[in-house]
A and B are shown apart, each in its own frame.
Chain A
Amino acid sequence: NAGVTQTPKFQVLKTGQSMTLQCAQDMNHEYMSWYRQDPGMGLRLIHYSVGAGITDQGEVPNGYNVSRSTTEDFPLRLLSAAPSQTSVYFCASSSPTSGGAGDTQYFGPGTRLTVL
């Protein structure tokens, strides 16, 4: 199993450009999430999904869209990139054992995004 994969590894955008960060998992996990990692702020949840066709907002959703058309894929779209979105983005997946809370999350390798 490849686990959780993310592409691209690095990306540089200009302000106003749009792009999609890809995330895929081959573990048949129901839950998938997107986090951003910023110095001094830890990981903050952007959006999450509890299954195909179901998504919801996390702590910092503004400027990002997600969709979940399949169990495997959970792309993150930046609609109009801003310098404040310069960050490292991590995708994670997990599988419920008992009600969803307290499950181990498996992370992708991250995408380092710079917005000029």
Chain B
Amino acid sequence: AQRVTQPEKLLSVFKGAPVELKCNYSYSGSPELFWYVQYSRQRLQLLLRHISRESIKGFTADLNKGETSFHLKKPFAQEEDSAMYYCALPSGTYKYIFGTGTRLKVLA
């Protein structure tokens, strides 16, 4: 069965420290994975998708098929990165599976 796992509910880091938000998936075939972000009191929005291979707001994510992971990384965390982050995977056509989310807190 297709599944997305985000093992950390909460991740706290100090400003300027590196950040890694973990996402593991279970999928048969070549997955296309997404990271969505929800800032406080705002709607969810796309942060990045692996197919575009872009760096958005300093975040990157590499698809590792061997480890079935799509971890989100940023070398130097900023306070404005504090938010809820969701990893997502298409499930068949038209549907998506979201992970349980990781709340990132960047401490001053």
Contacts and interface: CB of A to CB of B under 8 A. Distances in A.
Contacts of A41: 100
A35 B49 CA distance: 20
A17 interface: no
Given A90-B44, A107-B43, A108-B43, A42 B95 contact: no
Contacts, number: 55
Interface size class of B (residues with CB under 8 A): 20 to 34
Interface string A14-54: 00000000000000000101010000111111001010000
B96 A45 contact: yes
Interface residues of A, number: 25
Nearest to B31: A102
Interface of B: 6, 9, 32, 34, 36, 42-46, 49, 51, 86, 90, 92-101
Interface of A: 4, 31, 33, 35, 40-45, 48, 50, 58, 90, 92, 99-102, 104-105, 107-110
